[in-house]
Every structure is written in C-alpha cells, then in structure tokens.
Structure 1
Amino acid sequence: MHHIDPALLNTWTPRLLSVLRIVSAFLLLQHGSTKLLGVPHIAYFDNLQVFSLFGIAGIIELTGGVLLLIGCFTRAVAFVLSGELAAVYFIGHAPQGAFFSPMLNEGESAVLYCFIFLYLAAAGGGQWSVDAARKSGG
C-alpha cells in the first residue's frame, strides 16, 4: 500500500473540495438557467410559469447555483439544495417506477447532486470560496 504524504493531502484536499463545489454548482446552475432564462434552450420549459413546481425549482437552482459557485453561505445553501434534489428524485423520478434503480427512472443525477450537496453542507466550500476568504479576513 502506498503512503500519501500528509502535507500533500492537507494542501490539495481543500482545493479539490472547492473544485467539486464549483463544477457541481456550474452544472446545477444550468438546470435553473434553462428553466428561467431559456439558456440553454430546452423546449420542454417553454412558457414555464415561475410559480409552478418547475419554476420554484428553477429559482432554487439558479440562486443556489450562483451562491454555491462562488462559495457564499456554502453549508446552508448546499443543505437546501440537497433537500431540493431529494424532492426532485422522490417527486419526479421515483414515481416512474424502479424506486431503487435511478438508472431506470432517470434519477441518477438527482441522487448524485443530492449527496454531493449533502457532503458540501457538512464539509463547507473549500479553500477557494467566499466563505474561506471571509473566515481568513481577506
């Protein structure tokens, strides 16, 4: 078994946590922007009502995605997003059948997002975040 230098882990773990946060936020942000702004365009969301279930999800995804992207209020935002993605799975995917098989009900991304955001709620935003900058005073 190979030994990994603890100094290397201490240096890169918080940075890679930030990379996970940034990439996940960027991908989620597109779910919100497609629903509310039409970018990227998906015809299914044409004429979406803002106060519909999809509209509210879009607001949460767009707002939460931006905050998570910059790492601002990461723990609270990630917790809310984790709950939203759990709801997405149980409302939108599980009823399609194959409750315990997200691959069959097309809910894989919702499950992954849910648990990534739950992890970020516990771990924070990492070294490259507004939260970290505020904590360090700079």
Structure 2
Amino acid sequence: MNVDRLGGPVLSLFRIVVGLLFAFHGMASLFGVFGGSHGSGGHSIAVGTWPGWYAALIQLICGALVLIGLLTRPAAILASGSMAYAYFTVHVEKGIIPLQNGGEPAAMFCWAFLLIAVFGPGVWAVDSLVSRSRSAVTARTADPRPETATTA
C-alpha cells in the first residue's frame, strides 16, 4: 500500500469533519439547535451580540466553506484566528491549561484550522476541482505544437 497516495484523501476527510463540526457549533449558537451553544441551555445567541453572535457567524460560514473546500485557506485562517481570539479572551482568564479552563475545543479548532490553512484542502475539494480545471484550460491554450501551414 502506497501511504503517499492516502495523503490527499485523508487530508480531505480531516477537512470535511473539522468543517462540519465547526459549522454545527455555529448553527447551535445561532439557532439553538443540536443542544444549543455552550451555557445557553439550547437558546440562540441574540443577533448582533458581541462577540458571541459574530463568532457563531464566523463558525457557520467558515465551517461551511472549509467543509466543501471552497476558499479553504482564507476560511481556515479566519477560523483559526477566531478560535485563538476566543481562547485568549475567554478561556485563559480561568487558567492557562485548556483542560482546566474549558478551552480544549477552541485550542483544537485553532490548531486544526491552522493545519488546513498550511496544507490546503486535499484532493476532494471545490478549490482542487477549480485548480484542476484551470490547469487543463491553461494546458490546452498553451499547446506547444506549432501551427501547420497548408499550401495550395
């Protein structure tokens, strides 16, 4: 078995799962579904509440983009940064160690999205499909074969 062959699909599966979980977290906070956001008892966050509502919107949008692999790197950078912000503004006040301050999800999402931003979306992504399409068009338009002249 060629382990190198598994890299793209495994990275894609990792990206899909992380994006789905992040989007679910955003939906839980925005709409009060799936058990609601942390500490809300199944209720949604009031529209426009800083920073929770905006964080949930980032979670939903970036999670969905990462899930399908569209604009993956920018979405992953924004998601990673938002989780770093959450960790250092909400959780670190309760202690530096994530296990003690309840910041494990924020820390894990932060590092997972950083990995996705660095390594890209994998082979099963809209970004990869677009890239392959562009490469095929470029290859066709840059055909190195010279024109053949016809003489009458």
TM-score relative to the length of structure 1: 0.88
C-alpha displacement at 1:47, in angstroms?
A: 5.1
Q: What's the counterpart of residue 65 of structure 1?
A: 63
Provide, for residues 10-32 of structure 1, a one-character-per-residue CA deviation record: whole Å limited to 9, x for no partner: 21001100011011111111110
1:89-128 alignment, distance < 5 Å: 89-96=87-94, 98-99=95-96, 101-128=97-124
**Which protein has greater RCO, CA pairs closer than 8 Å, 6+ apart?**
1
Q: CA RMSD in A?
A: 1.6
Q: What's the counterpart of residue 20 of structure 1?
A: 14
- Kindly provide the amino acid, as one letter, of the partner of residue 64 in structure 1: C
Structure 1: tracts of 5 or more residues without a match: none
TM-score relative to the length of structure 2: 0.80
Structure 2: tracts of 5 or more residues without a match: 135-152
C-alpha displacement at 1:63, in angstroms?
A: 0.5
Rg (Cα) greater in structure: 2
Identity of aligned residues (%): 33
Q: What's the counterpart of residue 78 of structure 1?
A: 76
C-alpha displacement at 1:106, in angstroms?
A: 0.9
Partners of 1:127 and 1:47 in 2: how far apart? 35
Q: What's the counterpart of residue 55 of structure 1?
A: 53
Alignment coverage as a number of residue pairs: 130
- Secondary structure of the equivalent of 1:56? helix
Structure 1 residue corresponding to 2:127, chosen from 121, 125, 131: 131
Normalized per residue, the structure richer in helix is: 1
> 2:4 matched to 1:10?
yes
